Homo-oligomer: A and B are copies of this chain.
């Protein structure tokens, strides 16, 4: 048995659940593995969300998915039967746009972003008033040509106003985009990533994640990006920048110890709640020397009921 403090188990303990709910004003939810798995919504999660809202709690959905804008993600929640609104959604594309516009806040005109990623990133940058190039522009969705080498080397195809390279999941990644992004980094652009997950779970297997887009640039430059997804605290700073909540009155809810729960603990939130419907198992925090231990756990999110 572990000698460290273990999380409090809430399932079936109504008094403890009420005390848990009363302790917090804000609940941050990871989505996949907590609310649903793939296309299957877990039974009762809508009731739990409604219970929290009926008691005046703020609910926020936090996702590392960088291909979707908040309104895209709202459509997904709606399709899943989960009532929500765009202001409750915090995805890594939005997190990046907030970080760039509110925290970095570079003066123009040298404040353009070169984007490796899909339309969701572009939507969020546009809404935050951040100028950008790259992204889904067909001019970059092509093979590299001999003329490109020359035009990159002499700088004629590079925009002097680019000050940031932002790498997210790009289903249209190619050699040209990587080469251009690298040239901007060589010229001193700041290196940001929406998130650095190496893989993307889908169809019960894994595909290349956003980290697969940024890692060649890490390898070429020897630089690590500032990541705007869990568990990076730059994302927590972005969330706090938007919602202005009291961290001691906030609780992070998630299924993965090394991203969700770590994110909450390192963000010094008042609490963390692990659910057992996703990746991590309780054996992981029960072992001697477990690094990341949640404050609470339930078998499933819908166990939060009174």
Q: Which residues of A contact B (CB under 8 A)?
A: 143-144, 149-150, 152-153, 170-175, 178-179, 182-183, 186, 198-199, 202-209, 211-213, 215-216, 218-220
Contacts and interface: CB of A to CB of B under 8 A. Distances in A.
A215 B207 contact: no
27 contacts: A143-B171, A143-B172, A144-B171, A150-B203, A152-B205, A153-B202, A153-B203, A171-B175, A172-B175, A173-B174, A173-B175, A173-B178, A174-B174, A179-B207, A179-B208, A182-B206, A182-B208, A183-B205, A186-B205, A208-B216, A208-B220, A209-B220, A211-B219, A212-B216, A212-B220, A215-B219, A216-B216
Contacts of A216: 198, 208, 211-213, 215-216
A181 to B, nearest CB: 9
A220 B206 contact: yes
A144 B215 CA distance: 20
Nearest to A203: B153
Contact of A153 (B172, B182, B204, B213): B204
B171 A173 contact: no
A143 B118 CA distance: 13
A290 to B, nearest CB: 21
Nearest to A149: B203
Nearest to A199: B220
Nearest 9 A/B pairs, CB to CB = A153-B203, A212-B216, A215-B219, A198-B219, A153-B205, A198-B220, A178-B208, A171-B175, A149-B203
